[in-house]
Structure 1
Amino acid sequence: MSGLQTREPGEVFGPRMTLFADMLSVGLATAVVCLPVVTAPAALSSACEVLRGGVDGQPATAGRYFTVLRRRLRPADLLAGLVALAGALLCAADLGLARVGLPGAAPFAVVAAVIGAGALVVGLRACARPESLTDWPAAVREAARDTVRDPGGSALVLLAVATAALCAWMLVPLAFLDPGPLALALTAVGLRHTRR
Structure 2
Amino acid sequence: MRALVPQRREPGELFGPRFTLFADMLAVGLAAAVASLPLVTAPVALAAACTVLRRAIGEDRPATLGHYVAELRAHGLVRSLLAGATVLAAAALLALDLLLTRAGLPGARPMLWVLATLTAAGLVVALRTAADPDVVRGWRPALHRTAARSAADPSGCAWVAAAVVLCLAFAWMLPLLAPLLPGPLAFAVTAVELRRTPEDLRLAPPAPDEG
TM-score strictly above 0.5: yes
Does residue 68 of structure 2 align to residue 68 of structure 1?
no
Alignment coverage as a number of residue pairs: 193
Q: Which residue of 2 aligns with 1:130?
A: 133
Q: Which residue of 2 aligns with 1:81?
A: 84
Q: SS where residue 130 of structure 1 aligns?
A: coil
Q: Which residue of 2 aligns with 1:29?
A: 31
Does residue 144 of structure 2 align to residue 141 of structure 1?
yes
> Greater helix percent: which structure?
1
Alignment of 1:1-196 (within 5 A): 4=7, 6-9=9-12, 11-54=13-56, 55-195=58-198
- Amino acid paired to 2:37: L
Identity of aligned residues (%): 50
Distance in 1, Cα, partners of 2:193 & 2:60: 18
- Amino acid paired to 2:43: P
Conserved 8 A contact 2:74-2:136: no
Conserved 8 A contact 1:23-1:184: yes
Conserved 8 A contact 1:50-1:64: yes
Which of 79-88 and 63-72 deviates more? 63-72
TM-score (norm 1): 0.91
Question: How big is the shift at 1:100?
Answer: 2.4
TM-score (norm 2): 0.85
Distance in 1, Cα, partners of 2:197 & 2:144: 15
1:166–1:47: structure 2 CA closer, same or farther, 3 Å change rule? same
Q: Deviations over 1:106-158 (max 9, x none)?
A: 00000111111111111111100012111111100011011100000001111
Aligned alpha-carbon RMSD (Å)? 1.8
- If asked which structure has higher relative contact order (CA below 8 Å, sep 6+), I would say 2
Conserved 8 A contact 2:101-2:112: yes
Distance in 1, Cα, partners of 2:138 & 2:70: 19
Question: How big is the shift at 1:60?
Answer: 2.0
Distance in 1, Cα, partners of 2:67 & 2:178: 22
Distance in 1, Cα, partners of 2:163 & 2:118: 18
Conserved 8 A contact 2:43-2:84: yes
Conserved 8 A contact 2:35-2:41: yes
Which consecutive unaligned segments of at least 5 residues does structure 1 have? none
Question: How big is the shift at 1:84?
Answer: 0.5
Q: SS where residue 60 of structure 1 aligns?
A: coil
Distance in 2, Cα, partners of 1:37 & 1:113: 22
Which consecutive unaligned segments of at least 5 residues does structure 2 have? 1-5, 201-211
Distance in 2, Cα, partners of 1:193 & 1:105: 40
Q: Deviations over 1:36-94 (max 9, x none)?
A: 00101111111100011011221123331112212323211210100111111111221
Q: SS where residue 195 of structure 2 aligns?
A: helix
